[in-house]
């Protein structure tokens, strides 16, 4: 047990670094998988599910696929296809949820840094009790005009690419059906444009409207999802052509016949 604990401790100190997280500062759809597997090996199922909900289903389908290749279950291929679709849905939902949580946390931390005394009560002073016109006094906080860019959006402007990023990000998801190419291209464009506007807002939040920030962030997330789904679909098409040939891709009946011969339909 001591050797096993030391081995798991060694693994926890040598986890692989996500290149997307390290270079772009955002999570990828696989972030959390390593820590989730480590928690599972330590017997902590709840923590493993919290870190990456798809870990246990992934391990199950890998084991089931290996057993199916050996024993050839009657409905094994159908179970594998349904399970993989369910796992893909879990990964996408978990990725969207993590990005929303991360965005809310960053926004909260940014607000705390900009307004550290926001929740502190206003201390009365003698100047605020002086009658109007008796000397040069500074109006109390509740009589002062709000700064430009706050409480009503005076002087704020929309982020330049927020709307187009949102549109392209939304279109990129169904665009994956076009052999993945359209979804991949539009998703990358939306991701880049939305990410650029999100950075602009975080550098100067008082200059831009919160609504345009939300559009840019949503466009970035949708674009990333569309790019990932488009890339996966394109890889699947390339793999299909490599295994079955381009003729099967153009002929639905030939495709069905070849899939039926492989036990996939």
User: What pLDDT, on a 0 to 100 scale, did the predictor assign at position 201?
Assistant: 92
Q: What pTM, to 2 d.p., does this model score?
A: 0.42
Cα–Cα distance for residue pair 49/185, rounded to 1 Å: 33
Q: How far is CA 52 from CA 19, 42, 88, 173, in A?
A: 18, 15, 12, 23
Q: Is the pLDDT of residue 120 over 80?
A: no
Q: How many CB atoms lie within 10 A of CB 70?
A: 8
CA 144 to chain centre: 41
Residue 174 tokens read as: 């169904």
- Give the percent of the chain with pLDDT over 70: 68
Specify the higher pLDDT residue, 54 or 248. 54
* Cα–Cα dist 238/231, whole Å: 10
Report pLDDT for 188: 92
Mean pLDDT confidence for 171-196: 84
């Amino acid at each position: 047990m001591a050797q096993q604990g030391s081995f798991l401790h060694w693994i926890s100190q040598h986890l692989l670094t996500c290149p997307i997280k390290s270079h772009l500062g955002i999570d990828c759809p696989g972030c959390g998988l390593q820590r989730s597997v480590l928690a599972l090996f330590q017997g902590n199922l709840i923590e493993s599910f919290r870190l990456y909900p798809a870990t246990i289903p992934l391990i199950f389908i890998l084991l089931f696929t290996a057993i199916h290749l050996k024993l050839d279950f009657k409905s094994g291929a159908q179970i594998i296809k349904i399970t993989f679709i369910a796992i893909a849905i879990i990964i996408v939902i978990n990725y969207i949820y993590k990005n929303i949580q991360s965005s809310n946390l960053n926004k909260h931390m940014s607000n705390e840094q900009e307004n550290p005394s926001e929740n502190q009560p206003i201390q009365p002073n003698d100047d605020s009790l002086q009658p109007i016109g008796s000397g040069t006094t500074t109006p109390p906080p509740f009589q002062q005009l709000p700064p430009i860019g706050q409480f009503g959006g005076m002087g704020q402007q929309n982020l330049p690419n927020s709307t187009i990023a949102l549109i392209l990000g939304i279109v990129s998801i169904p665009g994956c059906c076009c052999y993945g190419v359209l979804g991949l291209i539009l998703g990358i464009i939306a991701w880049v444009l939305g990410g650029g506007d999100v950075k602009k807002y975080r550098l100067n939040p008082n200059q831009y409207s919160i609504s345009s920030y939300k559009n840019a962030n949503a466009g970035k997330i949708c674009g990333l999802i569309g790019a990932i789904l488009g890339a996966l679909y394109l890889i699947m098409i390339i793999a299909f052509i490599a295994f079955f040939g381009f003729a099967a891709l153009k002929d639905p009946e030939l495709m069905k016949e070849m899939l039926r011969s492989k036990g996939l339909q």
